[in-house]
Amino acid sequence: MPTCLIIGAGLAGLTAARELTQHHWQVILLDKGRGVGGRMATRRIGTSRADHGAQYFSARTPEFQQLVHSMKEAGVVQEWNLAVGDSHPRFIGSGGMSSVPKYLAEGLDIRTGERVIHIQQENSGCTVRTETGTTYRADTLLITIPAPQASILLSDSGIQLTAHERSVFDTISYQPCIAVIAVLNQPSGIPAPGNIRYAEGPISWVADNQQKGIASDPITVTIHASPQYSREHLEGDLNEVGQDLLHHLSEWIPAGSVASYQVHRWRYSLADQRYPEPYLRFSGPFTMLLGGDGFGMGNVEGAFQSGLQMARALIV
Ligand SMILES: Cc1cc2nc3c(=O)[nH]c(=O)nc-3n(C[C@H](O)[C@H](O)[C@H](O)COP(=O)(O)OP(=O)(O)OC[C@H]3O[C@@H](n4cnc5c(N)ncnc54)[C@H](O)[C@@H]3O)c2cc1C
């Protein structure tokens, strides 16, 4: 039975793992996080929730439409008729965005709390070492972490890249995003359907998670700072940054209605520059592929497609 290690249990890694498992590969996913899903992240706040990474997704390709359809049937996702300016349906996880990766993770062998720090060739395959000191071995390695992080991992592992491989890494870049989750003691004034997108200024997005249908008591809102603001304030005092962003939204969220807030720093949010192919196959002595949302169409659907295409490239 062919064996595969996948670094990263976000949408790309989970999709690849499901496809390979269906074709009788033995797959282990390693993720540094406490749970699965990566940037499809939902925070629990008491009995309520807030999505602080990806907010919604579209499904334009047949394979993803098929998966979304089956997740809709299973009650995992639902439509959100939000104000974005076109008529494409947008989907959300029914219990927050993390419902999607949790559903996809069912039945897979996933080791969380395992940050991969070293990759090494061994015979015709590879071994990877994690921060906990554990070593894993497989014939094939899929890397689905953001390309800048993958670049550091490969360099720390002493893996030499060809000029082409280096140029792929140089193509991909990510925007940072500072996210604020505010807990309110009264409903927000954000108009239906519960989202506002800003073209300029310090904020790019605000969503009322109650109107979105994932938060009831307490009410929560999610605020995403613009890429420029996030870049300028990424290393700043997060408490002050949170206060500043909330201040800009006082029209919809009066100061007296904020019971508490938390701030999250995403160093990699949306891949604004991507490599057009769905993945990169390395030319080294063992089979190693790099994918994720830095490849192809980007976003949640792009991560899915990248994972699927990586798996299909391995299945003969
Ligand atoms: C603030 C924000 C807003 C967004 N909004 C949207 C949106 O509205 N719509 C949309 O479609 N997309 C949105 N996105 C992007 C979307 O979330 C991503 O495109 C998608 O989830 C990427 O999936 P992935 O599997 O490629 O990567 P990830 O989800 O990042 O998964 C990679 C995984 O690798 C793990 N990892 C990293 N390094 C290591 C290591 N060394 N060892 C082990 N594990 C490691 C991480 O913990 C993570 O779980 C947003 C993202 C953010 C952050």
Output 76 or 255, whichever has higher pLDDT: 76
CA of 284 to the centre of ligand 1 (A): 26
CA of 299 to the centre of ligand 1 (A): 9
pLDDT in tens, 268-297: 999 999 999 999 999 989 999 999 999 999
| 180 and 250 housed in the same domain | yes
| 254 and 277 housed in the same domain | no
| Total number of domains in the chain | 2
| 305 and 223 housed in the same domain | no
pTM (predicted TM-score): 0.97
| 254 and 161 housed in the same domain | no
| 112 and 35 housed in the same domain | yes
| 109 and 246 housed in the same domain | no
Read off the CATH number of the domain in which 289 is found: 3.50.50.60
271-273/258-266 β-pairing: unpaired
| 299 and 167 housed in the same domain | yes
Q: Is the CB of 314 under 6 A from ligand 1?
A: no
Show the domain range for 197: 42-97+176-269
Q: At which residue do the structure tokens 């000191």 appear? A: 133
Q: Is the CB of 304 under 6 A from ligand 1?
A: no
Read off the CATH number of the domain in which 249 is found: 3.90.660.10
Q: Is the CB of 41 under 6 A from ligand 1?
A: no
CA of 203 to the centre of ligand 1 (A): 20
pLDDT in tens, 119-136: 999 988 999 999 999 999
| 250 and 112 housed in the same domain | no
Residue 17 has pLDDT above 80, yes or no: yes
Q: Please tell me the predicted confidence (pLDDT) of residue 83.
A: 66
Name the average pLDDT for the chain. 96
| 253 and 240 housed in the same domain | yes
Confidence class of residue 46 from pLDDT cuts 50, 70 and 90? Answer: confident
Q: What is the DSSP string of the chain?
A: --EEEEE--SHHHHHHHHHHHHTT-EEEEEESSSSS-TTS-EEEETTEEEE-S---B---SHHHHHHHHHHHHTTSEEE----SSS----EEEBTBTTHHHHHHHTT--EEES--EEEEEEETTEEEEEETTS-EEEESEEEE-S-HHHHHHHHHHTT----HHHHHHHHH-EE--EEEEEEEESS---PPTTSEEE-SSSSEEEEEEHHHHTS--SSEEEEEEE-HHHHHHHTTS-HHHHHHHHHHHTTTTS-GGGEEEEEEEEESS-SEEE-BSSS-EE--SSSEEEE-STTBTT-HHHHHHHHHHHHHHHH--
pLDDT in tens, 91-150: 999 999 999 999 999 999 999 999 999 999 998 899 999 999 999 999 999 999 999 999
Which atom of ligand 1 is the closest one to the Cα of 12? 25
Q: Is the CB of 212 under 6 A from ligand 1?
A: no
Nearest alpha carbon, ligand 1 atom 49: 38
Residue 215 has pLDDT above 90, yes or no: no
CA of 89 to the centre of ligand 1 (A): 21
CA of 268 to the centre of ligand 1 (A): 8
| 26 and 68 housed in the same domain | no
| 255 and 187 housed in the same domain | yes
Domain end residue (candidates: 269, 291, 306): 269
Q: Please tell me the predicted confidence (pLDDT) of residue 47.
A: 84
| 259 and 245 housed in the same domain | yes
Which atom of ligand 1 is the closest one to the Cα of 57? 11
Residue 87 has pLDDT above 80, yes or no: no
280-281/140-143 β-pairing: unpaired
